[in-house]
Amino acid sequence: EADIYQTPRYLVIGTGKKITLECSQTMGHDKMYWYQQDPGMELHLIHYSYGVNSTEKGDLSSESTVSRIRTEHFPLTLESARPSHTSQYLCASRAHSNYGYTFGSGTRLTVV
Amino acid sequence: SQKIEQNSEALNIQEGKTATLTCNYTNYSPAYLQWYRQDPGRGPVFLLLIRENEKEKRKERLKVTFDTTLKQSLFHITASQPADSATYLCALGDTGGFKTIFGAGTRLFVKA
């Protein structure tokens, strides 16, 4: 019973295309995050937000941008997709900084 | 650099036995440590959080210990079941919650 939703679940796209990965949560959490994860590897923070109109870059900004216009919505945009962007993208939220994260099911992106 | 080490080799155990997974870390002074379960192609699911001043925490069949001197956490699943088969991730967080780092996880297989 996920309270955080990511779309699409899978996406195959050509090099150079612009894409937006959607993330919405219904829990009213102020803190939201985007992580990137390759198979068998650690999660790496791409972007995070501590509330509306607040966005920060993480360790791996990966030429992407985010916006936080509404509390529940935190989309990630790749302006020009490259094969190196092929990965799983995970959106997460939490109520407070020392609470556990609630993750979405992820978007598996393949750039050909 | 800050680093989390989890056993990269899969752990195979028989149903009914206790599974013990290890999380070691270096160059980090965490305020808390979290454990997550991740199934293939899905986002991690939060299981337990233990704070730096806590030695042990339990939740149903799960037990976590946290030794800040050894820089190690142990995660136990008692009376393991095949449904417990998954990858288990360890994550460390600082006081402000600005910097959470994740381990790559340990794959657990429970045989019937």
Tokens of B87: 């990858």
Q: What is the pLDDT of residue B51?
A: 93
List A residues 40-79 in contact with B (Cβ-Cβ < 8 A): 40-43, 45
Out of B43, B46, B102, closest to residue A100 by CB: B46
* CATH code for the structural domain at B3-111: 2.60.40.10
Contact criterion met (CB below 8 Å) for B88 and B75: yes
pLDDT single digits (tens) B26-57: 988 888 999 999 999 999 999 999 999 999 99
3-state SS assignment for residue A33: strand
Integer distance in angstroms from the first to the last C-alpha of chain B? 41
Q: Where are the domains of chain A?
A: 4-111
Residue A2 binned pLDDT confidence (cut-offs 50, 70, 90): low
Residue B32 to residue B2: CA distance in whole angstroms: 15
- In this complex, do B44 and A101 lie within 8 Å of one another by their Cβ atoms? yes
Show the DSSP H helices in B1-111 as ranges. none
Find the angle CA(B16)-CA(B19)-CA(B24) to the nearest 5 degrees: 175
Domain residue spans of chain B: 3-111
For an interface test with B, give the residue of A1, A98, A103 to mutate (most B CBs within 10 A).
A98
- The CA distance from A32 to A5, in Å, is 12
pLDDT band, residue B90 (cuts 50/70/90): very high
Instruction: Please check whether the domain covering A4-111 is classified as CATH 2.40.240.20.
Output: no
- DSSP designation for B29: -
Q: Which residue has the tokens 């679940």?
A: A9
Distances (CA, A) of B50 to A41, A57, B61, B95: 23, 27, 16, 13
CB atoms within 10 A of CB A88: 20
Chain segment A53-111, per-residue pLDDT in tens: 999 999 886 689 999 999 999 999 999 999 999 999 999 999 887 789 999 999 999 99
Report how far residue A44's alpha carbon sits from residue A23's, in angstroms, rounded to the nearest whole number: 17
